[in-house]
Chain A
């Protein structure tokens, strides 16, 4: 429900590849830049630096692993928003064999913050729907930073109903700071569109698997995540409001966002404990942004396993499982 509040980021250049480090990754950044320097110095020179390089590289790898094994909820929030984090198009490229995009809600327009289409995963035909945030200025604007408008949610409803008619399981990739908070979105019924999308999830007679791959922000996320199986990437977050939003309301200052992130229990690990999600998919050491292809493949395998387990379950059973899942939350 809040506008994107991107934290200050430092962009550093190492060689020709631009790597962006988060604030808490500074020690890793220092080591990696030292390694790059050594490599550059070694070129043409016959000085034996191999052992020093090996030592530094192993130190750097250890530091990265230990940093990422103990991320705080606020640090995970930053990782989940990392500019190089894989998004919808990366999953399509690396996890699915085929993808035919389908566009439009048939009422108003085409919202590129929410993409969808027919796809194939390990030979299995399915309907793939998800948020796309974009990866550079131009695409971020085109995809509206992954903040869906009513027409995006109405397209999702259309595609879910289409999938239901043709027996295609529905897979969603959730990655949004929240639905777009703007005048035209309100005017066209943002709340109604989100409510109908949630309703459409619950009505499906085909299997539905949702994966929170980055930020699962509020109603804009739940509208695509009301599934019988909900997966989450290791460093993804899922919450009722952004930590900044929560902090500015309850603490009266957005600076308390780290405390709010802690208090809200928004990490995959907390949510598994609370039985809000069913399964955590591991990310490569150092986060999904260090290796989008491997991340996508791991997620693809997990989704495929979930779909395999759901195949053959009757429509009525699937609906009942979905309903029971949400009715049970908070009971007892």
Chain B
């Protein structure tokens, strides 16, 4: 802090300065200051370094789907079934997350179309408790997949999660087989199930519905893996390879079909849906 900033910080113009600061956002990757409206117009991708920023469910649905889609109601589940408490109560953490989010939990789905191709699109929201998979996420995913089965249309899921929601203990783990029941039903019904892996997708989410798609797409640079990097480092005690667990690494190792930039996603999904249209429904 030099004399100038010290004096400035004492001046009573703070609120005005803050509002002007909201016009600018810093790229989390290259630290470039970006004009917020331009960043948004560029789909929250840094025009300088190409970093794909994390986005919420509403932004994602608006980017991907045709106008006029309808958001599906979020099924209600038993809240805080274990009465879990760490340094804070889980119920308080939930309240806090809900106050900061337009949605009830970390998975939001909508029915509509993508360039005319009917689809149910589910989006996991990393900003809601790290996108973590608990009973609410599981129930919303099941309901969305069921809607796709009812409508005989494609199911697309954008994954983003640190993993399971630990505060729901074993009940969060049980969402893995639960979600897998639905991916199997879609397969049996001959409906396309496409996964778009976004930053970050790790843990039990990756080890269940995120890796069971007919097609796996990833956004550039997304962190995707099963075990966390710190856990792996603690186990092997070696430096992790360059680009480890990034989208391009997974593509190289055969786990995703393609890495697609956000600006091309909508069109690519529409193309794929065109090819994978259920034969009997066409």
Interface residues in chain A, defined as those with a beta carbon under 8 Å from any beta carbon in chain B: 1-3, 179-183, 185-192, 194-196, 198-199, 201-203, 218-219, 222-223, 226, 238-241, 245-246, 249-252, 256, 259-260, 263-266, 271, 274, 276, 323, 326-327, 329-332
Beyond A186-B232, A199-B183, A264-B169, 14 additional contacts (C-beta under 8 Å) are: A179-B207, A179-B226, A187-B253, A190-B227, A191-B225, A195-B210, A201-B177, A202-B181, A218-B173, A226-B177, A239-B173, A240-B204, A263-B85, A326-B177
The 14 listed contacts between A and B (C-beta, < 8 Å) are A1-B226, A3-B235, A183-B244, A189-B253, A195-B208, A222-B177, A226-B176, A252-B87, A264-B166, A266-B169, A271-B170, A276-B174, A330-B139, A331-B139
B115 within 8 A of A: no
How many inter-chain contacts with C-beta < 8 Å in the A-B complex? 180
Residue of B nearest to A150 (CB): B226
B234 within 8 A of A: yes
Q: Is the CB of A264 within 8 A of B181?
A: no
Contact with A along B107-151 (1 / 0, CB 8 A): 000000000000000000000000000010011001000000000
Query: Within residues 42 to 58 of chain B, which ones have a CB less than 8 A from any CB in chain A?
Result: none
Contact with A along B211-255 (1 / 0, CB 8 A): 110000000000001111001101110101100110000000111
Task: Point out the residues of chain B lying under 8 angstroms from A238, CB to CB.
Answer: 170
Q: A150 CA to B242 CA in the complex, in Å?
A: 22
Q: Is the CB of A186 within 8 A of B177?
A: no
B31 within 8 A of A: no
Q: A167 CA to B80 CA in the complex, in Å?
A: 41
Task: Point out the residues of chain B lying under 8 angstroms from A271, CB to CB.
Answer: 170
Q: Is the CB of A183 within 8 A of B166?
A: no
CB of B217 to closest CB in A, whole Å: 15
Which single member of A219, A251, A331 contacts B226 (CB below 8 Å)?
Answer: A219
Q: Is the CB of A274 within 8 A of B253?
A: no
A-side interface mostly: helix
B171 within 8 A of A: yes
Q: A245 CA to B86 CA in the complex, in Å?
A: 13
Q: Is the CB of A185 within 8 A of B226?
A: yes
Task: Point out the residues of chain A lying under 8 angstroms from B163, CB to CB.
Answer: 1
Q: Is the CB of B240 within 8 A of A264?
A: no
Task: Point out the residues of chain B lying under 8 angstroms from A199, CB to CB.
Answer: 180, 183-184, 212
Task: Point out the residues of chain A lying under 8 angstroms from B244, CB to CB.
Answer: 183, 186
Q: A86 CA to B35 CA in the complex, in Å?
A: 63
Q: Is the CB of A198 within 8 A of B236?
A: no
Q: Is the CB of B235 within 8 A of A181?
A: yes
Q: Is the CB of B139 within 8 A of A181?
A: no
CB of B184 to closest CB in A, whole Å: 6
Task: Point out the residues of chain A lying under 8 angstroms from B240, CB to CB.
Answer: 183
Q: Is the CB of B166 within 8 A of A330?
A: no
Task: Point out the residues of chain A lying under 8 angstroms from B175, CB to CB.
Answer: 329-330
Q: Is the CB of A330 within 8 A of B78?
A: yes
Known: A190-B226, A198-B208. A240 touches B172 (CB 8 A): yes
Q: Is the CB of B232 within 8 A of A327?
A: no
In the A-B complex, the 3 residue pairs with the closest CB atoms: A181-B227, A330-B135, A191-B206
Which single member of B86, B168, B170, B241 contacts A183 (CB below 8 Å)?
Answer: B241
